[in-house]
Amino acid sequence: MVKNKPAPSRDDLRRLHFINALFAHATGHDLYLANQIKGAITFSLDELAAQTAAHPEFAAQFDLAFNAAAADLLAKLFAPLPRRGFFHWDASLTLAAATPLFTRAEIMAGLRHLAPFREATLLVTNLRPALLPPSRRATPRRQRDYEEALAFIRALTAARTTRSANLQLLFL
């Protein structure tokens, strides 16, 4: 008799699709390979995963650690590729990092770094938690600030990237 495996949780499916999109050039959109990468990242965070299972309130910390590990792995994957640029900005590094002035400065620094490459990836992580902290209420003003930040980054990236460049802008 074959036992059915339990259905994956919503968070596991979200992480799987995130990894599938992030590593599409390596996996060819193969969910099996993406699941292997997700499993490797999760294994590297095994202690935190065990704590999250015991204390569900640690889920946000696990997501941040998972995203950071995925960004590090992606940076290592792109490092040996001389024709492919990669830049990662973590919006939660400082309290003021997600303000419009610092956002513009960081995105412009990333675009200057990626300018010589025909193919590049600009990864923005933790913008949502920086502007909509999980411990605080998501007020309409915070929601609006987050939507404006997304629109601003998209518009700035589109305006400052040459037409011949293939730039992937990823928000995590």
Query: Count of domains in the chain?
Result: 2
Indicate whether 76 belongs to any domain.
no
Indicate whether 118 belongs to any domain.
yes
Indicate whether 101 belongs to any domain.
yes
Confidence (pTM): 0.69
Domain hosting residue 42, numbered range: 10-69
Three-state DSSP class for 167?
A: strand
Indicate whether 154 belongs to any domain.
yes
Is 26 within 8 Å of 36 (Cβ atoms)?
Answer: no
Per-residue confidence in pLDDT tens, the chain, 172 aa: 556 666 777 778 888 887 888 777 777 878 888 888 888 888 878 777 777 667 766 666 777 788 788 888 877 777 776 778 889 888 887 766 678 888 899 999 999 999 998 888 898 888 888 888 877 888 899 899 999 999 999 999 999 998 888 898 988 7
Q: What are the distances in angstroms from CA 136 to CA 60, 94, 97, 129, 169? A: 13, 17, 18, 10, 27
